[in-house]
Structure 1
Amino acid sequence: MKLSHIPLRLATGAFILNSGMGKMKLDTDSAAGMKQMAANALPQVEQLESEQFGKYLAYAETALGAALLAPFVPSRLAGLGLTAFSAGLVAMYLRTPGMTQEDGVRPSQEGTAIAKDVWMLGIGLSMVLDTRTKASKD
């Protein structure tokens, strides 16, 4: 892990791990709401029961957060996971009615809380694209 990746991994890892752990005991209504929003980006989610989706989401977020915090997980691998996860969040934001203003990009009042997740996409892509290795520096 590069020194420059530590702040990125700590900030996103702690945030995502906390979010995942907070979802471990989701009630049915909350899980159903999250499932409906996720289905805007990934229609296959509709095939899952709400409780099942909530558990899978909690496990996925917890695992991703832990992977970002674990120093033995290569940054490129952790970055791929973060990029995939955050790309799904950005797709959900863009495809959920009422989240964006009329231009389809800028967030509405309701969409601001989700639109901010674009920073995680940028961090994930930066970790993946940072291809400099010790061998290439020589």
Structure 2
Amino acid sequence: MTRSLPLLAALLALVATTPLHAEGDPESGQRVFNQCRACHVIENDGRNGVGPNLHGVVGRRAASIGTFRYSANMRELGEQGLVWTEDNLRAYLANPKAVVPRGSMAFPGLRNPAQVEDVIAFLKSRAG
């Protein structure tokens, strides 16, 4: 038992200093985002496509672009205060239907957590 205490202490220290989510790579995220471009743009003042413009989406209230026609479910969630924080985007990008069950986005989600982090990093890099 006493021999395992230093190991336990080292593991606890590692867990305490390890970030919960790794920082993504915006360049890799741009490549992953290319599959999103079929429906979304990310240019400042860009037009909406099949999906809304995602410029500045990180930190924005859901369903807040007045010129886009969101699903009723997405509008309800926006009215209830859903904001696209990194954590909410993480969940949505991994499984959109888990966050917005009756939403209209047909994309099934990104299964690779590193790609999710990369896309979030890319979205953040295009916020300004």
Normalised by the length of structure 2, the TM-score is 0.28
Q: Name the structure where helix makes up a greater proportion of residues.
A: 1
Which structure has the larger Rg? 2
Q: Looking at both structures, which has the greater relative contact order when contacts are Cα pairs under 8 Å and sequence separation is at least 6? A: 2
Normalised by the length of structure 1, the TM-score is 0.26
